[in-house]
Structure formats: C-alpha cells, structure tokens
Structure 1
Amino acid sequence: MNTPCITLSILLLAGAQHAQAASTVDLSVKGLITPTACTPLLSSGGLIDYGKISQQDLNQDKGTRLPVKHLQVSVACNAPSRFALRMRDNRDGSAMVNSEIYYGLGLDTSGNRIGLYSMTFDPRQTVVDSTALIYGTESTTGGLAWRTANLNPIDIGANSYLGFTDTEGSTVGPSAIQELISTVKVEAVINAKQNLDLSTDTLLDGSATMEVVYL
C-alpha cells in the first residue's frame, strides 16, 4: 500500500526540481551611444503635390502613371559617419502592390487603395563630401551583408538598408560620410478607375518617414 505513494512522491519531486532549474533566465541589454548625429532634410518641406487630377484623365482598367517628380534629399552629419537610409510607410497596407519599395496613397471613401509611389536614388545624381564619383549599395540582412557597390539606381525600401560608398565593387557597406545630397526620383501610379470610388473628391494621402540608420 505504501509503494505507490512513495513512487508518486518521487515523481512530483523530480518535476519540481526541473521547474526550478528553468524558472530564471538572464537578459542582456546592449548598445552604443555615439556623439555622431546626422540630420536628414527634404526639399520643399518633403511635399510632392500633384494638384487636382480629373477622373476623366485616369485609365479605366489599368493604373495611371503620374508625371515624374524630383525631390532633393540631404543628410548632414557633425562628423564623418557610416549610415544607411530606409523609409517607413505611414500608410502601410494601402499600396496597390505588396512590396517594400512601394508606398501607399491612402484609401478612398469606400476603403479602396488609391495607388502607390516609389522613391529612387541614383548614385550619378548623388554628391558625397568631396568625392567625385559615388556608388550605391544596399543590404537586405540588416547590414550583415551588402550588395556589390555600383552605379545602378536603387529604390529605397522599408526593410532594406540603402547606402553609398566611394569604392566601386565594394561589399563592405557604406563609407563614412559627413554630407550627402541626392536628387531622388518620385514616381506615382493611381489605381484603375474601375477599382475606385470617385463619387466625391479623393485625396492622395501618401505619407512616409525617412530614417537614418547608424552603422
């Protein structure tokens, strides 16, 4: 009669010891506060204004491309710094195409997606400090690996890092930069008219935040 009780007691004790061994875990919080500070600026207060667009100028069954716009992006640092750029869509989920390089223009009164836009950096249209020629690079791994630096235009993304280097073919990421000035191409597309509720005025309501990521 006593044996089952003894066996049960041993099993409970073993379980209690196992729970006690796993009841704590260490957390480390690390980082680096640096005196470096970089300030990004956009020309025209960061406003791209297409004015009034008549619905009769929109394509019925396919997207309508709006005229290309240009915006000047500058980043000024208090000392040469390694940094990258990325952009967060403040209208996330409203772009017609689900991709990190497309940003939404908001929703119409019926909840339809109005359109999308993208922003493209061109190394040939970018000036860095006193460097004669600059090359673009990007990382889709949070800075662990970098694309071979070249002169190809790069669309800024929400998840990828975009940077510049003075070394063609480099795979080590951005160079230390104190001042960057780039003319960026902005391209917008309005959704097909058949997909929109245009019974009232429809506001293009794109909004995004550009971020400097210190490396």
Structure 2
Amino acid sequence: MKKLLHTSVAGLLIASAFPAFAASTVDLTVKGLIVPSACTPSLSANTVDVGRVSVKDLNQESRTLLNPSTLTLSVDCEAATLFAMKATDNRTDSSANAGEFGIGKTAAGEPIGGYGLFLDNAVADAVAVQTIVSYNGGTTWFTHYEDDLWQSTSLISIKAIGTASTPIPAKNTLMALSVNPFIHPAKNVTISEDTAIDGLATIEVKYL
C-alpha cells in the first residue's frame, strides 16, 4: 500500500512540473524609437555662486534663505521635436526633503541645506506656452505652475496654452529657471570649519 501511495504522489508531481500543453517557445520584444532630430539643453550660466555665508547670519530655528538666481534654460532641436526634461540631483544623499536638491554635508555628515528649482515664462518657437509635468514617466501629464517645484522624479514638457495637458513638439524652447538655495536651521548644522556649498544637478532631454 505504501509503495502504491508513493508512486501516485510521484506521478502527480511530474504532471505538475510538465503541463500537458506547455508552450515550447517564448517571445522577446525589443522596442524603441529613433528620432530624426536631436535636442541640446543649455543654461545662460552653469554656476550659481551664493558667495560666503557666515554662521552667525544663519537662523537658529528656521531655514536661512539665500539670494535666488534666475537663469535661462534653452532646448534647441534640429527640427520640431516632442521632448521632455528631467533634472537629476547628483547630491541626493544630502537632500532633506522630497522635491528639493541637496548641496552637500558638513564634516559631521549633516545635510547643509538645499535648493528648489522653479520654471516660468516658457516660450516655444516665439510663442508663449505652458509647462506640464508627469510623475509616471510620461504616461499622464498635468499643468505645472510657476510656484511648483521641479522634482527630480518628474518630467517637464510643454503644451499650448488653454489646451489639454498634452506635450507639443518645438524646435527652440526657452524658459526662466529659478534656483532658490537655503541653509538648514543652525541648530541642525555643525559648522566648525570652512564648509563648501556643493550642489550639482544634471538636466537631460528625454524624447517622447
């Protein structure tokens, strides 16, 4: 009886491991898109220098806001192209809040502060346009307003004013990029020596 039982169980296991109608092939699809034109992003200045900041000038209990800077961000394409932009924070280990970019750490390993990026006054091919944002890789888009942070997890594109939030192609696009730096409350930052403010972000064009 035991021998018969064991044989029956073994037969069931074999049947489960090898289905009667198992497929003998599997498909692999490789997709993409080769675009006929390339786009180049540029900034009116590649460095924002906040100068020397004295510890005694820092707010003890709240952020110290440093002077903001406004740059011109341009995207120039060889032909009208559907594109989006992504800003990558290269100092993510020192950013304290979602949506803000880091500026390095103290010798004690404390985040120094950060900066927010804001976009405004977008113009594409000499016509005013509206910036739009996607938080899911370009599947859905929403209006991006001038007081909305440009988050490193999002994509930014443009749309015609007064229309649905759908990206439009453009050849030459420019907009104002505001950089708003700050230092964390002095009570949270140990500064016992010269400490570099060292933020670095990369702006990349993504083709849609």
Contact 2:106–2:195 (8 Å) recurs in 1 = yes
The alignment partner of 1:134 has SS state of strand
- Which TM-score applies when normalising by structure 2? 0.89
Aligned-partner Cα distance in 2 for 1:199–1:22: 67
Are positions 1:128 and 2:124 aligned together?
A: yes
**2:171 is aligned with what amino acid?**
Q
Q: Does 1:90 align with 2:90?
A: yes
Of 136, 141, 159 in structure 1, the residue corresponding to residue 136 of structure 2 is: 141
Aligned pair 1:158/2:152, yes or no? yes
Counterpart CA distance in 1 for 2:13 and 2:167 is: 58
Task: For 1:152 and 1:168, locate their aligned partners in 2 and report how far apart those are by CA, in whole Å.
Answer: 16
TM-score between both structures, scaled by the size of structure 1:
0.87
Where in structure 2 are the equivalents of 1:52-201 lying within 5 Å?
A: 52-97=52-97, 99=98, 101-122=99-120, 125-131=121-127, 133-148=128-143, 152-171=146-165, 173-201=166-194
Give structure 2 stretches of 5+ with no counterpart.
none
Cα deviations by residue, 1:70-90 (Å, 9 ceiling, x for unpaired): 111111000001111121110
| Residues 97-138 of structure 1 deviation map (CA, whole Å, 9 limit, x = unaligned) | 2x1x2101111100001001011111xx2321121x222221
| Gap runs ≥5 in structure 1 | none
> Quick one: distance in 1 between partners of 2:29 and 2:129?
39
Distance of aligned partners of 1:167 and 1:200 in 2 relative to their CA distance in 1, 3 Å threshold: same
Deviates more, 1:4-13 or 1:86-95: 4-13
Change (3 A) 1:182 1:23: same
**Could you tell me how far 1:13 is from its partner in structure 2?**
2.1
Partner residue of 2:14?
13
> Within 2, Cα distance between the matches of 1:95 and 1:38?
29
Paired with 1:119 and 1:12, the residues of 2 have a C-alpha distance of 60
DSSP-derived class of the 1:93 partner: helix
- 1:28 CA drift (Å): 2.0
**Quick one: structure 1 residues 39 and 198, their matched pair in 2 at CA, closer, same or farther if it must change by over 3 Å?**
same
Aligned mate of 2:206, from 190, 196, 213: 213
Shift of 1:22: 8.4
Q: Quote the Cα distance in structure 1 between the aligned partners of 2:182 and 2:195.
A: 14
Letter of the 2:4 counterpart: T
CA RMSD of aligned residues (A): 2.3
Distance, in Å, in 1 between the alignment partners of 2:8 and 2:149 is 67
User: What percent identity do the matched residue pairs reach?
Assistant: 36
Cα distance in structure 1, aligned partners of 2:207 and 2:147: 22
User: How far did 1:94 drift?
Assistant: 1.1
